[in-house]
Chain A
């Protein structure tokens, strides 16, 4: 069975500072990894994905994520946080069944203070 772990329920960072939201995964075979963001009372918005290729993936709104196969991690990063980045962030892994069905982590709340 596949799984995703987001070890932090909440991450606090000051505006302008770099941010990292952690994600580790467990999957058989090659992982296909995704990050989504959820703003209050909204649906999930796709941020970025890793399928193959460069370990550093760039996505929307200045976010990027680093795939590390040896550590089975896919941490989300941003060099300079904005207050508007405050939201709930989900890491997800694509299911081995070959569909777009995703297995999600429990989410990490990011709070960026002014």
Chain B
């Protein structure tokens, strides 16, 4: 049973380009979460998705960032017109439905560097 798979592991983009980060949840997991880890900081929640639905995007910047989790295929975190401040590690996590007793399992992250 493969874990949460994220790709690419490392991504370099020039300012103004688009970044697409992919996340395939663990088998059987229908809930996906995206977190951002800035240098010297903990993880900050960005968005919570279920298949074809955005449940909570309260941690997502209002502009340039979007996320989706289609019926088929991985979840995608998209950052348009990247800026240097977007450089960070982006982690995806997945879980089973169930709420309180359910721990999230994390992928290895995508490290985005904006040059």
Q: Do A and B bind each other?
A: yes
Please list the residues of chain A having a beta carbon within 8 angstroms of any beta carbon in chain B.
32, 34, 36, 41-46, 49, 51, 90, 94-95, 97-107
The 3 closest A-B pairs by CB, nearest first: A104-B42, A44-B106, A43-B108
**Is B45 among interface residues, defined by CB-CB distance under 8 A?**
yes
User: Which of the 9-residue segments B13-21, B61-69, B70-78, B97-105 touches chain A?
Assistant: B97-105
- With a cutoff of 8 Å between Cβ atoms, the chain B residues found around residue A104 in the complex are 35, 42-44
- With a cutoff of 8 Å between Cβ atoms, the chain A residues found around residue B106 in the complex are 36, 43-46
Q: Which residue of B lies closest to A97 (CB)?
A: B56
Q: Which residue of B lies closest to A32 (CB)?
A: B100
Q: How many A-B residue pairs have CB under 8 A?
A: 64
Over the window 21-46 of chain B, the binary record of Cβ atoms lying under 8 Å from chain A Cβ atoms (1 yes, 0 no) is 00000000001010100001111110
- With a cutoff of 8 Å between Cβ atoms, the chain A residues found around residue B108 in the complex are 41-43
Are A94's CB and B100's CB within 8 A?
yes
With A42-B109, A46-B103, A100-B103 already in contact, 6 other A-B pairs whose C-beta atoms are closer than 8 Å? A41-B111, A43-B6, A44-B93, A46-B106, A103-B45, A104-B44
Are B31's CB and A100's CB within 8 A?
yes
- The answer for the CA separation of A12 and B108 in the assembled complex, in Å, is 26
Q: What are 20 contact pairs spanning A and B, CB under 8 A?
A: A36-B106, A41-B111, A43-B107, A44-B43, A44-B91, A46-B104, A46-B106, A90-B42, A95-B45, A98-B99, A98-B100, A100-B93, A100-B102, A101-B45, A101-B56, A102-B43, A102-B45, A104-B42, A104-B44, A106-B40
**Is B55 among interface residues, defined by CB-CB distance under 8 A?**
yes
**Is B82 among interface residues, defined by CB-CB distance under 8 A?**
no
Are B4's CB and A99's CB within 8 A?
no
For A49, give its contact among B4, B99, B103, B107 (CB under 8 Å). Answer: B103
- With a cutoff of 8 Å between Cβ atoms, the chain B residues found around residue A97 in the complex are 56
**Is B87 among interface residues, defined by CB-CB distance under 8 A?**
no
Are B91's CB and A43's CB within 8 A?
yes
